[in-house]
Structure 1
Amino acid sequence: MNKPFKGRRVASVQAQPRGAGPGDLPADACRLLARLGEAGADARPDPLVEDALVIRRGGGGVSVGGGRFAAAAGRALAAADLATWNEAGTRLTITEAGRARLRRQAMPGDLAFAAQHHDLAVVEGGGAEPTLRNAAENPLAWMVRRRDRDGTPLIDAAAFEAGERLRRDMTAAALLPRMGSDFGAPRVDGGGPRDPASAADHVIAARQRVRGALDAVGSDLSGLLIDLCGFLKGLERIEAERRWPARSAKVVARIALGRLAEHYGLEREATGPDRGRLRLWRG
């Protein structure tokens, strides 16, 4: 690994007590692990600061608030098998053991063991209380974590967020089948789940957002997005049902999610002028 440019040094994580983080992991290493657990994130040696790491997200995208960490934090994660370096020693990524640790820490004590083996996530479906689902069953989560040979995810962070936003709107719009009964939902005489007049305002608004997103993507790709984001069908299943060639759904899904991200105004990299005007605010 090339030695970074010598500059000012950051404080070493070894100076912190071993009990600073959960499970005797240094606090700086815990914070670094949380950053590496974000979609498409990795850590690389800082070319301007000696013995330091910087966080980058979205494959080849720009760092958006990733921060800088001591290189000792990366060494601590690698020694604990929570993160691993590539062969060139230029990129540090989280391992499955690291993701399991984050899932275990994010859940209460009675759900910690289940979260370690299942990627539990909160689903906001517009109901009275949020529910949990296994995010490992979400093909979008698999695509954003799956990397090509050059280390680039199959989909970037903007495409992932676009797909998740469509899924949330479809759930809030009650367009997806419910698994089980909702005994807490209010019911009015003459109305019901099949009566459009009984739908709440937020349900109608969600349906309008879904319709607008699918119209913007186009009829040729909207069906794939419904299967991929709404019904969480894997790429192989989509190919089998549509009789597509192998590995073709990945290409079409990238195009569809890219159009969806454009509709939502999500971009892979931050854009704007090189320099902004200074303004003076006076009371």
Structure 2
Amino acid sequence: MTARRLETRLHPDDRIDPGKTGPQVMRHVTVNVGESPIAWLASRGLLSAAQLSAGERLRADYERAGLSARVTMRWDAAPPGKSRGGAQASDASLARIDAHRRFHAALDAVGPGLADICWRVICGGEGIGGAEKALGWPARSGKLVLGLALDRLARFYGTG
């Protein structure tokens, strides 16, 4: 059984007020450490801290951009009406757009051959063995290729 720990993370829809000096509103999220394939690799010393940080940032951008498939209907409130100057974009929408751009720029920086393993393992949560089979790669090549991709991601995000 993998350990569970309570982490405090800023939810993608939470607004950060730069003018506010006091504590920001944070949501408490229970995170299963063994749930992420890259966290599993890092816990066994197979990834550096910079590689893990870059992978987590890519996954955060992926989730913040809302790129994952939805399995239920959206019950969000209807978008606000248009004003004279056109539709007013909310801060959450702008954050989503920025995350979407960062995600695609990161995958472009990684390169076409390495972006596949990044998406499957980091964003899709697929195991390395499953990603190797799906991509038609030889067994035990995924860790090496993922390490190279994470090094490029670390350079892109400035963590390595």
TM-score by length of 1: 0.44
Counterpart for residue 138 of structure 1: 36
CA contact (8 A) 1:124 1:172 kept: no
1-structure distance, mates of 2:71, 2:32: 14
Counterpart for residue 111 of structure 1: none
Please tell me whether residue 243 in structure 1 is matched to residue 136 in structure 2. Answer: yes
2-structure distance, mates of 1:140, 1:243: 20
- 1:222-252 deviation digits (Å, cap 9, x = unpaired): 1211111111111111112122211110000
Counterpart for residue 155 of structure 1: 47
Q: Which consecutive unaligned segments of at least 5 residues does structure 2 have?
A: 15-25, 82-88
Letter in 2 for 1:162: A
2-structure distance, mates of 1:134, 1:178: 21
CA contact (8 A) 2:4 2:30 kept: no
Please tell me whether residue 170 in structure 1 is matched to residue 62 in structure 2. Answer: yes
CA contact (8 A) 1:143 1:154 kept: yes
Letter in 2 for 1:143: L
2-structure distance, mates of 1:160, 1:136: 13
Counterpart for residue 127 of structure 1: 13
**Displacement of 1:187:** 2.2
**Displacement of 1:132:** 3.6
5 Å matches for 1:43-192? 117-119=3-5, 121=7, 124-127=10-13, 130=27, 131-146=29-44, 153-178=45-70, 183=75, 185-188=76-79
TM-score by length of 2: 0.74
1-structure distance, mates of 2:126, 2:51: 17
CA contact (8 A) 2:61 2:103 kept: yes
Q: Percent identity?
A: 36
Q: CA RMSD in A?
A: 2.8
The structure with the largest helix share of the pair is 2
1-structure distance, mates of 2:74, 2:10: 15
Counterpart for residue 221 of structure 1: 114
5 Å matches for 1:32-43? none
**Displacement of 1:120:** 5.3
Tell me the SS of whatever aligns to 1:126: coil
2-structure distance, mates of 1:124, 1:223: 27
2-structure distance, mates of 1:223, 1:119: 30
- 1:207-229 deviation digits (Å, cap 9, x = unpaired): 11111111111111112111111
Letter in 2 for 1:241: A
**Displacement of 1:201:** 0.6
Please tell me whether residue 203 in structure 1 is matched to residue 89 in structure 2. Answer: no
